[in-house]
Amino acid sequence: MTSPAINTIAAGVVPYPPEVAERYRAAGYWTGQTFPALLDAAVAAHGPRTAVVGTGPSGPERWSYGELDARARGLAAGLAEIGIAPGDRVVVWLPNVPEYLETIFALFRLGALPVFALPAHRASEIRYFVEHAEATAIVTVGRHDRFDHAAAAAGIAAEVPSVRHVVVAAERDAELPDRALTLAALRRTPPDRLPGDDVDAGSVAFLQLSGGTTGLPKLIPRTHDDYLYSVRASAEICGLGPGTVYLAALPAAHNFTMSSPGLLGVVHAGGTSVLAPSPDADTCFGLIEAERVTLAAVVPPLAAAWVQAAGSTSRDLTSLTTLQVGGAKCAAELARRIPVALGARLQQVFGMAEGLVNYTRDDDPDDVVAETQGRPISPDDEIRVVDPADPDEREVPPGEVGALLTRGPYTIRGYYRAEEHNATAFTADGFYRTGDLVRITERGDIVVTGRVKEQINRGGEKIAAEEVENHLLAHPDVVDAAIVGVPDDFLGERTHAYVIPVPGREAPRPAALRRFVRERGVAAYKVPDTVEVVDAFPVTGVGKTSRRALRAALAARATENQAEEK
Ligand code: OOB
């Protein structure tokens, strides 16, 4: 007899209704597989094959599935020894190093929950994740990208009582902050059995970040059952196998890189993941040639940069069969240039960390691949396209543009500990309001046409207008601020801040305001690209201005100005 299954966390999580969960199990989507079991299966079937290639703090690494598993088990045992327990939340703040996979599988073995931060995040974001999730530890690196992550993590640990440990992916103790431990020191002889082996597949496996539309980012609880269904189905749709060599060019912790089909799809298929330390064409083309990469995933601006660079590269890119593009809208012109320039098929991916992922398929006609964002993974992904202006959210006629609502076997029913926000982000019958404007073609493919959410998509990096406005409002000389997205040839969109200074005081300079936001410890991509100091928001006739209407009016004005400049 096995011991009773461990439920990792339940408080603050909106469960799938029991009858719905039963249906997803009966349909074979939810199989009861857990993350530790995913790795076990890969070790059993592909033990000696190369699982991961990359450069970590100790230099180049190349680990087989067996080695990855042994390391993860060793680390799990070490983490257990310092008191990390099933259900604990641990913020994983790592760049694309092989230790990323070691760490997440160690946490899964323990039944502890990774909280996925991006390497670009800075202290204010990490502190918020730690506090909101009541994390007991942070796993990070030392100096990376000219920033001392370990020191920042230690600073947060000293101030937030729940954090008992900072673990640093470094082999030596040299230059570690006080109280921090190295991964190497924790990697011990594993015990036979770790708690994660007994985790209930219906319970939460990790917390992913949402792009955010409000002042503070939301955490997304994903279960073993729902997430691994999307991973296995994605691997199948994308034709992954043991021969797949996947290049992780975007941050490993992003949902696209992790599971569409990403690093986890590769583990399921027994392929090889190559972790790129940087997404630039130089680095990635070198890795494609050296490792004979077959599949890579990028955001549209990177795809454009790679297309550009392909014209003059001496690297051999012939192994690359598919380039996935997603995270933001890929213009049809760019889509058509990709196969020509890179000699690889394009696959468009329209997904979201909350769940729903759409792919164009291999056998789709070229126009469909170039002009649509594909169709859902699952026959049970329910899609509604509704009139965004209709309080009753009635569906628009077929083929017309509307707001996308979705529900299905791997889309969450609520954000973590966010009762109030959940009441507006989800319908009463459990559909997630994606905030995307779409239309569905006659064939059933989705075309993303815009969005209704208060978010700027800066080349795939999501920025909640309100979050940045709140940072500007913290400046003593600022009385009001509004962030809008303006079109940008390279990024698709960039951010523009309108700022009203406190009357009677000298207006702060734009450069000083940008520095102010940066120094508050936020990811560089959130710092407004341009700042304009104005006496009042240049909008009339809106009456009692809602911030939403104001942003819409300002964005329209910024777009007009942009068009005039051209
Ligand atoms: C991915 O996930 P998130 O959570 O960073 O962002 C989701 C949002 C979507 O709601 C949509 O607004 C936008 O990003 N988006 C796209 C897109 N892919 C994502 N908009 C237009 N075209 C696309 N192809 O970005 C994500 C997650 C999994 C796989 C791929 C992307």
Asked whether residue 402 carries a pLDDT value surpassing 50, the answer given is yes
The Å distance, Cα 256 to ligand 1 centre, comes to 8
- Average pLDDT, stretch 518-545? 85
Asked whether residue 335 carries a pLDDT value surpassing 50, the answer given is yes
pLDDT (0 to 100) of residue 365: 98
d(CA 246, CA 350): 19
CB-CB contact of 381 with 356 (8 Å): yes
The answer to whether the CB of 454 is under 6 A from ligand 1 is: no
Strand partners, 219: 209
C-alpha gyration radius of the chain: 23
CB-CB contact of 483 with 528 (8 Å): yes
- Average pLDDT, stretch 130-158? 96
- Average pLDDT, stretch 260-280? 98
**Mutate which of 116, 230, 352, 383 for ligand 1 pocket (most atoms within 8 A of beta carbon):** 352
Higher pLDDT, 218 or 537: 218
The answer to whether the CB of 373 is under 6 A from ligand 1 is: yes
The Å distance, Cα 412 to ligand 1 centre, comes to 15
Non-local CB neighbours of 57 within 8 Å, separated by 6+ positions: 97, 99, 141, 142, 169, 170, 171
pLDDT digits (tens, 9 = 90+) for 442-493: 999 999 999 999 999 999 999 999 999 999 999 999 999 999 999 999 999 9
pLDDT digits (tens, 9 = 90+) for 420-429: 999 999 999 9
Whether the ipTM is more than 0.95: the answer is yes
The Å distance, Cα 359 to ligand 1 centre, comes to 11
- Average pLDDT, stretch 149-176? 91
Percent of the chain with pLDDT over 70: 97
CB-CB contact of 250 with 314 (8 Å): no
Cβ burial of 188 (10 Å; 0-12, 13-18, 19+) is: middle
d(CA 493, CA 458): 5
Asked whether residue 120 carries a pLDDT value surpassing 70, the answer given is yes
The answer to whether the CB of 352 is under 6 A from ligand 1 is: yes
d(CA 194, CA 40): 13
Helices (H), 343-477: 366-371, 419-425, 465-473
Of the pLDDT bands very low, low, confident and very high (cuts 50, 70, 90), residue 193 is confident
pLDDT (0 to 100) of residue 351: 98
Beta pairing, strands 245-248 & 295-298: parallel
4-13, 114-123, 228-237, 285-294: least confident range: 4-13
The answer to whether the CB of 353 is under 6 A from ligand 1 is: yes
pLDDT (0 to 100) of residue 1: 41
The answer to whether the CB of 455 is under 6 A from ligand 1 is: no
- Average pLDDT, stretch 541-555? 71
Of the pLDDT bands very low, low, confident and very high (cuts 50, 70, 90), residue 3 is low
d(CA 507, CA 534): 9
Neighbours of 307 (CB within 10 A): 17
User: What's the maximum distance between 2 C-alpha atoms anywhere in the chain?
Assistant: 75
* Exposure of 156 in the CB half-sphere (CA atoms within 13 A): 31
pLDDT (0 to 100) of residue 337: 98
Element counts in the chain: helices (H) and strands (E): 18, 27
The Å distance, Cα 58 to ligand 1 centre, comes to 34
CA 268 from chain centre, in angstroms, equals 20
Q: How far is CA 238 from CA 108, 203, 487, in A?
A: 25, 27, 32
The answer to whether the CB of 372 is under 6 A from ligand 1 is: no
Shortest-distance atom of ligand 1 to CA 297: 30
Asked whether residue 544 carries a pLDDT value surpassing 80, the answer given is no
Shortest-distance atom of ligand 1 to CA 209: 4
Compute the mean pLDDT over every residue in the chain, rounded to the nearest whole number. 94
Q: Which residue has the tokens 């009762």?
A: 419
Of the pLDDT bands very low, low, confident and very high (cuts 50, 70, 90), residue 176 is confident
The Å distance, Cα 516 to ligand 1 centre, comes to 29
d(CA 323, CA 343): 9
pLDDT (0 to 100) of residue 194: 86
Structure tokens at 378: 């699952």
d(CA 406, CA 209): 18
The answer to whether the CB of 12 is under 6 A from ligand 1 is: no
The answer to whether the CB of 223 is under 6 A from ligand 1 is: no
